Amino acid sequence: MSNKTLIAIVLTTLVMVVLAGCGGATPAATEAPAATEAPAATEAPAATEAPMATEEPTEVPLSGDVVADGSSTVYPLAVAVAEEFALLHPEVRVSVGLSGTGGGFEKFCNGETDISDASRAIKQSEIDACTANGIEFAEFLVGYDGLSVVVNPENDWVQGLTIEQLGQLFRPDDENNVERWSDLDPTWPDEPISFFVPDPDSGTRDYFIEAILEKGLELPEELLDVRTDAQTTFSSDDNVLLGGVANDLYAIGFFGFAYVVENPGAVRTVAIENKDGQFVEPTFETIADRSYNPLSRPLYIYPNVQSLREKPQVAEFVRFFLSPEGAAAVIREVGYVEPPAGTYEEGLARLEEILMGQ
């Protein structure tokens, strides 16, 4: 082999090796197109905030004072209602006085109290006093009482009395007055009588004078009062009168039926001759059906209209007094009877009219 041929073979071999090296290279991968970015997620609209729950207004507890005064007869009922009211409104202070119907109206017409308790209707002179002082009032009938004539439990001679006998016993000193039991009936003890009588501010005393001396006996005006002699003890507190009769065999007195009920056995009630000629003792039934006459009588409360409108606690107390949970719920327990059906409802309607300015 010639040198030229050998060189040609070597060159050819080198070229083939080079070409083979070049042909084995993997072509560069075609670059994948850049991934299209997913469109940004559409942002959901912000959730509409739920409106804030309206907070229930915080109820401010009722508070303040309610000042009542007046009849010692209405006193047990007013106190019983006030005690029930306090369970619902412990921050309200209800004070109840017992200075007598007349004494209560005197304070009321001077603007000293919110409510006047009365065992008789307000007198014209008291209306005039209130008017002079700019006191406007409302009247609410809250119950009925049986004004009770009582003797010592050991008294075995007095069972019943006529209107005439009651007049002789309690009328002012004159030729028809009696000082000893035997003066009224010769078969009764020849012993001096002790009298226990409500004082001059008492509505019970006023009612007795009107029913027995004025209407019952038609006495002249100068005799329209009760006796005031040394044998007579006066008090505005019916508990004092009850205690006097309970501790004196020859005593007699009169006061509200509630004090008889609250003190069983302490005194004994006397039957009184009614307009039909029957002798009737005070009981829940005879007071309710008015057969115990003429001594069944109405009981009232008189609130100050300005107090009702400007003192929420006074308005609420009167509302409670007239409600089924008020006087109606406790009146028999304290010794009185409820007024005619519908009376409390009428009172509540009138109260709302007053509060609305009517």
Sketch out the chain's domains with CATH numbers. 64-144+298-355 (3.40.190.10), 148-294 (3.40.190.10)
Q: Taking the CA of residue 121 as centre, how many other CA atoms within 13 Å lie in the half-sphere pointing to its CB?
A: 3
pLDDT at 52: 54
Contact in structure between 123 and 235 (CB atoms under 8 Å):
no
Per-residue pLDDT tens digits for 139-174: 999 999 999 999 999 999 999 999 999 999 999 876
* Section 16-27 average pLDDT: 39
- Report residue 12's pLDDT band, with 50, 70 and 90 as the boundaries: very low
Q: Taking the CA of residue 191 as centre, how many other CA atoms within 13 Å lie in the half-sphere pointing to its CB?
A: 12
State what percent of residues in the chain have pLDDT above 90.
78
The two structure tokens encoding residue 149: 């004539």
The two structure tokens encoding residue 129: 């006093």
- Report residue 11's pLDDT band, with 50, 70 and 90 as the boundaries: very low
Per-residue pLDDT tens digits for 330-345: 999 999 999 999 999 9
pLDDT at 10: 35
* Section 290-316 average pLDDT: 97
The two structure tokens encoding residue 157: 């001679």
Q: What are the start-end ranges of the H helices in the chain? A: 3-23, 75-88, 101-109, 124-132, 163-170, 181-184, 203-208, 238-246, 257-262, 284-288, 305-310, 312-322, 327-334, 343-355
Contact in structure between 233 and 242 (CB atoms under 8 Å):
no
- Report residue 58's pLDDT band, with 50, 70 and 90 as the boundaries: low
pTM beyond cutoff 0.75: yes
The two structure tokens encoding residue 73: 């007869």
* Section 66-72 average pLDDT: 97
Residue 5 or residue 84, greater confidence: 84
* Section 274-281 average pLDDT: 97
- Is the per-residue pLDDT at 292 higher than 80? yes
State the Cα–Cα distance between residues 81 and 327, nearest whole angstrom.
6
Cβ density class 210-230: b for 16+ within 10 Å, e for less: ebbbeebbebeeebeebbeee
* Section 7-27 average pLDDT: 39
State the Cα–Cα distance between residues 44 and 137, nearest whole angstrom.
68
